[in-house]
Amino acid sequence: MDLKSKIILIYGPTASGKSKFAVNLAKKINGEIINADSMQVYKELKILSARPNQKDYKKIRHHLYGFQNVKKKFSTGSWLKLANKNILDVKKRKKVPILVGGTGLYFKALTHGLVKIPNIPIKYRDKIRSLHKKIGSKKFFLKLIRLDPLVKNYLNPLDTQRVIRAYEIKSFTKKSMYEWFKSTKSKYEQEDFYKIYIDFPRDELIEKINLRASKMIETGAILEVKKFIKLKVPKNKTASKAIGVSEIKEFLNKKIQISELIDKISIKTRQYAKRQVTWSRGHMSDWNKIKSNNLNQFLKKI
């Protein structure tokens, strides 16, 4: 299997071993790793975002990790611009770009282009969310289909975030979300990519997530959040929503004990992993699904 002419994409739920696999793959094919995780861009969130460690950095060159200030805005568009530049730079060095992370929207922007939908006022968006809360998911989805029949066969009714987003877009722009998507193109051809999805058994993943939560606390996550609090990052900034920030704040305010803190972080991380898997089902049907216990076998075939 020759992957040296490809841009390699590696996605999977949190704690599925993406970073380790990416390093091992990079060693085999002379690659460099580019981050595709929205939390790992922040320099102040090393432990909570589970950034690769210094040993990995020494083995393989890494890009777009821990460079962004938590107070500054960093969008999917910001990431795409930097990712494209890094892909080009890596190729110029005759190396293979390997993008790894758990942010599905980043990969979607790279492979299909970034949808340039006009900004929808926050008051308008809040009104839509209030409507969803008032009438419930089922009635809201039926209302959406009446407003925008095009989305019926593309959206999972249980994917609340995307259902609300589709309603916002159609009602505000008078144009279906999928009409916006159709007019958007990637700068790459699909053949340029080799896409890998790491399929990790749920029971084993839960166990790994629980261990990771404990390890984060042991290795300094509480101190990291203490420093984060001192920065007075606005609540609407992406970094403030990192798993562990609000939970550790509760602990520091003596509202919960350490055991409850670890449990809360574990539960929220499991919920996030579930959303990542749901995303993959809706957006990654053409990706090469590799069972986690077959990753070494995959490496041997290269």
pLDDT at 169 over 80: yes
pLDDT at 236 over 90: no
Per-residue confidence at 183, pLDDT binned at 50, 70, 90? confident
- Res 191: pLDDT: 95
More confident: 183 or 150? 150
- Res 302: pLDDT: 87
- Res 154: pLDDT: 79
- Res 179: pLDDT: 87
Structural domains in the chain, sorted by start: 7-115+187-201+279-301 (3.40.50.300), 122-182 (1.10.20.140), 203-275 (1.10.287.890)
Per-residue confidence at 178, pLDDT binned at 50, 70, 90? confident
pLDDT at 162 over 90: no
Express each pLDDT in 12-64 by its tens digit: 999 999 999 999 999 999 999 999 999 999 999 999 999 998 888 999 999 99
Express each pLDDT in 89-117 by its tens digit: 999 999 999 999 999 999 999 999 988 88
As a whole number of angstroms, the distance between CA 251 and CA 263 comes to 12
Per-residue confidence at 153, pLDDT binned at 50, 70, 90? confident
pLDDT at 1 over 90: no
Express each pLDDT in 194-232 by its tens digit: 999 999 999 999 999 999 999 999 999 999 999 999 999
DSSP collapsed to 3 states, the chain: CCCCCCEEEEECCCCCCHHHHHHHHHHHHCEEEEECCCCCCECCCCCCCCCCCHHHHHHCCEECCCCECCCCCCCHHHHHHHHHHHHHHHHHCCCEEEEEECCHHHHHHHHHCCCCCCCCCHHHHHHHHHHHHHHCHHHHHHHHHHHCHHHCCCCCCCCHHHHHHHHHHHHHHCCCHHHHHHCCCCCCCHHHEEEEEEECCHHHHHHHHHHHHHHHHHCCHHHHHHHHHHCCCCCCCHHHHCCCHHHHHHHHCCCCCHHHHHHHHHHHHHHHHHHHHHHHHHHCCCCEEEEHHHHHHHHHHC
Express each pLDDT in 27-41 by its tens digit: 999 999 999 999 999
